[in-house]
């Protein structure tokens, strides 16, 4: 009876906090130590299979089509190198083992106004999906209650027998509140007891085991598309309605890239791509930068973000990858697992197309 009343009291307290949050203005502070993560038993999950052609066929498709965008292209299907080594520093050695894509939430939880109740504990997600050992790697919004402000999340989390190896980073605009154009940014590693993210995320989920992956090396850009768009468009042009999904990591070995870092949540609603552009802080960042994320050649009616990669580095550069700014110098090297399905978690009931670039 005592336990039951405690549970009821807790539910009641969270309900009050939830109502409070809903009523708060953007500038009001809330007691972040009390913020509760999403209960996965109460949100929609929708899993759809992806098309999985033989890796050698994807190698052929990319080998034929990527030379329209890069002067030097090498694509192969091979055993993944040990990605725990520099410069990848993943928290598991490989990308293989029941690989799937996971998309959590979405931009409608960020825009036009933030939904502070959309906090996702990734370790709890893995337990809910009964995945252990599991690697989750990709791009999302970082845990704002940890940073105290909105932040980029570069997720790189491995769980084995319940033990967390946390390689995830966050990047914030510094100093907090700096006007656009005058601020910098700060990359930090998350501690192993901080397994939350927020709002939206695109992750590769696998057992993190060694195994066959698609390796793509591309140098000297001669086309318009960025590295990931070029791969995604090549797959889409070849496979059409048969939707193919990849997840993994690439390193920019030479050149510079344009990244954005989200500042704190906007005090005013952000409604259009032009307003998103005016809100985000953009930076030119230096190689070597390691990126993690996912791409998918179609939407499958799941309201998917079709590509999303975030980067981190030893020298502190990191954020959301847009494109490289030094076509003549760029050198990309990527390793991608072919995903068997996509798991859509807590898709926003009302959606829009703003803020997906």
Ligand X SMILES: *[C@@H]1O[C@H](CO)[C@@H](O)[C@H](O)[C@H]1NC(C)=O
**Whole-number minimum distance, CB 49 to ligand X, in Å?**
34
Query: What distance in Å separates the CA atoms of residue 299 and residue 318, rounded to the nearest whole number?
Result: 27
* Closer to ligand X by Cβ: residue 87 or 223: 87
In angstroms, give the least distance from the CB of 314 to ligand X.
Answer: 4
Nearer to ligand X, 287 or 306 (CB): 287
Closest approach of Cβ 317 to ligand X, in Å? 10
- Choice between 194 and 346, CB closer to ligand X: 194
Distance of closest approach, residue 73 Cβ to ligand X, in angstroms? 25
For β-strands 100-105 and 341-345, DSSP reports them as parallel
Give the shortest CB-14-to-ligand X separation in angstroms: 12
What residues line the site for ligand X (CB under 6 A)? Answer: 25, 27, 31, 33-34, 86-87, 89, 191, 193-194, 267, 290, 312-314
Cα gap 219→228, rounded to integer Å: 13
Instruction: Report the chain's C-alpha Rg in angstroms.
Output: 20
Element (H, E) at 256: strand 256-261
Cβ atoms within 10 Å, residue 61: 19
Name residues whose C-beta falls within 8 Å of residue 303's C-beta, 6 or more positions apart in sequence.
106, 344, 347, 348, 351
> Of 67 and 87, which has the nearer Cβ to ligand X?
87
Helix, strand or coil for residue 234?
Answer: helix
Residue 19 or 34 having the CB closest to ligand X: 34
Residue pair 297/236 in contact (Cβ under 8 Å)? The answer is: yes
Eight-class DSSP state of 182? T
Angle between helices 227-239 and 55-65 (to 10 degrees): 110
User: What is the smallest separation between the CB atom of 268 and ligand X, expressed in angstroms?
Assistant: 8
CA dihedral 191, 195, 200, 202 (to 10 degrees): 90
For ligand X, the closer of residues 125 and 234 by Cβ is 125
Q: Cβ 99 to ligand X, closest distance in Å?
A: 23
CB of 31 to ligand X, least distance (A): 4
Given a contact cutoff of 8 angstroms between Cβ atoms, the answer to whether 52 and 338 are in contact is yes
Q: Is the Cβ of residue 5 or residue 31 nearer to ligand X in the bound state?
A: 31
With H, G, I as helix, E, B as strand and everything else as coil, classify residue 41. Answer: helix
Residues 6+ apart with CB under 8 A from 47: 100, 341, 342, 343, 344
Residue closer to ligand X by CB (options 83, 95) is: 83
């Amino acid at each position: 009876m005592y336990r039951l009343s405690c549970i009821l009291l807790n539910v009641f307290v969270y309900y009050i906090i939830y109502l409070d949050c809903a009523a708060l203005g953007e500038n009001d502070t809330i007691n972040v130590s009390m913020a509760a993560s999403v209960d996965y038993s109460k949100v929609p999950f929708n899993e759809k299979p992806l098309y999985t052609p033989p890796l050698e066929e994807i190698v052929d498709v990319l080998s034929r089509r990527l030379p329209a965008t890069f002067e030097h292209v090498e694509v192969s299907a091979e055993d993944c190198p040990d990605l725990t080594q520099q410069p990848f520093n993943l928290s598991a050695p490989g990308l293989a083992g029941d690989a799937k894509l996971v998309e959590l939430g979405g931009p409608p939880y960020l825009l036009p106004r933030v939904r502070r109740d959309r906090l996702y504990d990734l370790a709890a997600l893995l337990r809910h999906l009964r995945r252990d050992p599991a690697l989750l790697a990709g791009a999302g919004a970082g845990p704002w209650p940890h940073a105290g402000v909105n932040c980029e999340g570069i997720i790189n989390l491995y769980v084995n027998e319940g033990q967390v190896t946390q390689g995830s980073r966050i990047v914030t605009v510094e100093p907090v509140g700096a006007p656009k154009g005058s601020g910098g940014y700060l990359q930090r590693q998350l501690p192993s007891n901080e397994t939350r993210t927020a709002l939206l995320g695109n992750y590769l989920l696998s057992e993190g085991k060694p195994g066959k992956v698609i390796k793509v090396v591309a140098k000297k850009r001669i086309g318009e598309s960025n590295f990931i768009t070029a791969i995604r468009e090549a797959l889409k042009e070849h496979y059409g309605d048969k939707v193919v999904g990849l997840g993994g990591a690439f390193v920019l070995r030479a050149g510079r890239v344009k990244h954005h870092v989200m500042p704190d949540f906007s005090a005013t609603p952000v409604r259009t791509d032009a307003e998103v552009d005016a809100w985000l802080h953009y930076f030119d960042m230096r190689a070597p930068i390691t990126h993690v994320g996912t791409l998918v050649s179609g939407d499958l009616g799941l309201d998917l973000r079709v590509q999303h990669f975030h980067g981190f580095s030893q020298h502190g550069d990191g954020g959301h990858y847009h494109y490289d700014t030094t076509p003549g110098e760029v050198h990309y090297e990527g390793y991608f697992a072919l995903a068997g399905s996509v798991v859509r978690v807590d898709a926003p009931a009302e959606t829009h197309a703003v803020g997906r670039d």
